[in-house]
């Protein structure tokens, strides 16, 4: 197996850092301008901080790589990237489902896309452990310490970003509990009204599991909360003429489309990934090294710590209660819970005899 010498690798890292730092700075400037443009629609003003954090991560990595610390026998390569971009195609948009047939201003459907985590890094490495038997002039020691090789792939990913949660209704039917078409057109759906900060303070973010069918609140069940869903409000639907009950229609009013913009990406807390897949190989040579017995152990997610990679967001409410009284009665107890994780540790062992 071939690789890049440590000194050359650190030099490449420095060159890559300089290039990525310029890209990060340009991205900060573009996102600052975008956040200003979308401020009236709740644009993601916090996004430049992510770019700045990534630039700082690169600076830290370069400081580590330029310390001059080298390990004989280590070969490594690494790549880091960002996946956030602004998407607006003349025909269709990939983020919000198509060019608006109602809003001429492109800002209605102009904003960052994600895939789904903004920042990731992947590092591959091979380390051939130096033999001690020759240095200590004690060959039996080699059966324990010599001919070891450690290799692996380490993946680092930032918290997942997603669009603002949406609300929907249960308890509808086709007779007396018909759900209205909120916007009156199939070409443009409604979005939530943003009335507060959807991000919960870090000390209020929690995941405890438990039953999903009792004590259901706006953010989920007690002990399970990822977002502040109270920061979102359902717009009143449009209608041909204003209705006595505004929840059945307020007439032809643009407010029924909601004010959430596509620039509103929120971070799902607790979804960072730090995954290590490693292989350990030991050769036991005999017959002057032409033949050998090899032991190999492969371990995926070797540290076996739980890492969440998806979550249930948004909420559903009972439509009859909301229609008749305006009361929001939550019905989804799975809201505010993580729904998927990185695979647990997997191990495989093999032996091989070459002769």
The CA distance from 300 to 275, in Å, is: 8
Helix/strand/coil for 220: strand
Per-residue CA distances from 92 to 88, 98, 107, 191 (Å): 7, 4, 14, 18
pLDDT at 256 > cutoff 50:
yes
Residue 259 has pLDDT above 50, yes or no: yes
The residues spanned by each domain of the chain are 6-163+268-354
Tokens of 55: 């630039």
| Residue 342 and residue 277 in contact, taking contact as beta carbons nearer than 8 Å | no
Compute the distance between CA of residue 25 and CA of residue 33 in angstroms, rounded to an integer.
Answer: 13
Residue 220 reports pLDDT greater than 60: yes
d(CA 119, CA 271): 12
Do 232 and 165 touch, CB atoms closer than 8 A? yes
Confidence check: pLDDT of 238 > 50: yes
Per residue, what are the HEC states of 279-302? EEEEEEEECCCCEEEEEEEEEECC
The least confident of 289-298, 321-330, 337-346 is 289-298
The pLDDT score that the predictor gives to residue 3 is: 47
Nearest alpha carbon to residue 154 among 305, 294, 275, 263: 275
Is the pLDDT assigned to residue 2 strictly greater than 50? no
Distances (CA, A) of 219 to 138, 229, 245, 266, 341: 65, 6, 27, 15, 21
Return the SS3 of 52. Answer: helix
Q: What is the mean pLDDT of residues 37-63?
A: 45
Residue for token pair 């990934």:
273
Summarize the confidence of residues 244-273 as an average pLDDT.
Answer: 89
Average pLDDT, the chain: 78
Of 121, 154, 147, whose CA–CA distance to 280 is shortest?
147
pLDDT over 70 at 351, yes or no: yes
- Give CA–CA dist 209/144, Å, rounded: 46
- Does 92 or 264 have the greater pLDDT score? 264
Rounded to an integer, the average pLDDT of 267-285 is: 93
Residues 6 or more apart in contact with residue 134 via CB below 8 angstroms:
142
Record the tokens describing residue 150, joined without a space.
Answer: 């450690």
Query: What are the residue ranges of helices labelled H in the chain?
Result: 6-37, 47-65, 133-136, 142-145, 319-325
Q: What is the mean pLDDT of residues 303-332?
A: 94
Q: Residues 56-115: pLDDT tens digits?
A: 444 444 444 433 344 566 666 666 666 655 444 333 334 344 566 677 666 677 766 667
3-state secondary structure of 161: strand
Q: Which of 245, 254, 261 is nearest to 184 (CA)?
A: 254
More confident of the two residues 316 and 15:
316
Contacts (Cβ under 8 Å, ≥6 apart) of 252: 184, 238, 239, 240
What's the CA gap between 39 and 348, in Å, rounded?
52
Q: Within a 13 Å sphere around the CA of 170, how many CA atoms are in the beta-carbon half?
A: 9
């Amino acid at each position: 197996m071939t690789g890049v010498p440590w000194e050359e690798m650190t030099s490449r890292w420095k060159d890559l850092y300089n290039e990525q730092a310029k890209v990060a700075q340009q991205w900060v400037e573009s996102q600052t301008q975008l956040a200003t443009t979308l401020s009236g629609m709740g644009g993601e003003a916090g996004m430049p901080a992510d770019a700045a954090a990534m630039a700082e991560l690169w600076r830290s990595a370069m400081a580590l790589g330029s310390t001059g610390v080298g390990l004989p026998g280590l070969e490594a390569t690494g790549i880091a990237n960002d996946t956030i971009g602004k998407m607006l195609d003349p025909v269709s948009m990939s983020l919000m489902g198509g060019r608006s047939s109602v809003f001429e201003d492109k800002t209605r459907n102009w904003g960052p896309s994600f895939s789904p985590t903004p920042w990731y890094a992947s590092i591959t490495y091979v380390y051939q452990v130096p033999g001690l038997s020759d240095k200590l002039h004690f060959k039996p020691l080699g059966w324990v310490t010599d001919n070891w090789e450690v290799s692996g792939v380490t993946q680092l990913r930032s918290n997942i970003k997603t669009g603002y949660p949406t609300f929907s209704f249960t308890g509808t039917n086709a007779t007396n509990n018909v759900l209205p078409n909120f916007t009156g057109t199939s070409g443009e759906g409604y979005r939530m009204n943003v009335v507060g900060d959807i991000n919960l303070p870090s000390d209020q973010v929690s995941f405890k599991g438990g039953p999903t069918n009792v004590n259901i609140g706006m953010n989920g069940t007690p002990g399970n909360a990822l977002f502040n869903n109270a920061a979102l409000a359902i717009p009143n639907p449009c209608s041909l003429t204003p209705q006595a009950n505004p929840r059945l229609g307020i007439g032809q009013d643009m407010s029924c489309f909601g004010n959430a913009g596509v620039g509103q990406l929120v971070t799902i807390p607790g979804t960072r990934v730090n995954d290590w897949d490693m292989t350990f190989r030991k050769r036991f040579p005999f017959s002057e090294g032409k033949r050998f017995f090899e032991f190999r152990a492969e371990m995926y997610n070797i540290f076996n710590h739980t890492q969440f990679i998806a979550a249930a967001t948004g909420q559903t409410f009972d439509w009859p209660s909301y229609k008749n009284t305006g009361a929001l009665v939550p019905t989804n107890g799975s809201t505010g819970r993580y729904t998927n994780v990185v695979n647990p540790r997997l191990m495989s062992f093999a032996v091989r005899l070459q002769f």
